[in-house]
Structure 1
Amino acid sequence: MLDNTLERVNISPPRRALHRLDARACSAGETRSGFIARMAVDAPQPTTQN
């Protein structure tokens, strides 16, 4: 279950990935944190096979 409680996290992406992330967030008019959160929430859910 998802809620809106903010949680601080630390990540260590390669500099190149961080620059790309920041550019995409800026293009979307979002903060880095907001962009990452939206991408996580909007990502397709994995399907399970029986």
Structure 2
Amino acid sequence: MKKDQNQVKVRFQPECKKWIERQSRDQERSQTWIINDLVRKAIQNEGQVS
């Protein structure tokens, strides 16, 4: 893990965890990448809504 990254523990509801696992498999990306991508997109969208 890079030193400029923070690690957190997160609990997901079973259906959310299954969705993340499925996206990870389908996109051939890590579950961490999927979650970070979702958060980045949410941050971008938040800035666009005024």
Cα distance, 1:6 vs structure 2: 1.4
1:12 match:
11
Which of 1 and 2 has greater Rg? 1
Higher relative contact order (CA 8 A, sep 6+): 2
User: What's the % identity of the aligned pairs?
Assistant: 7
Structure 1 stretches lacking a partner, 5+ long: none
TM-score (structure 1 length as normaliser): 0.68
TM-score (structure 2 length as normaliser): 0.68
- Classify the secondary structure of the residue corresponding to 2:46: coil
Runs of 4+ in structure 1 deviating by more than 6 angstroms, as ranges, are: none
Would you say how many aligned residue pairs link Structure 1 and Structure 2? 44
- The structure with more helix, counted as a fraction of residues: 2
Cα distance, 1:25 vs structure 2: 1.7
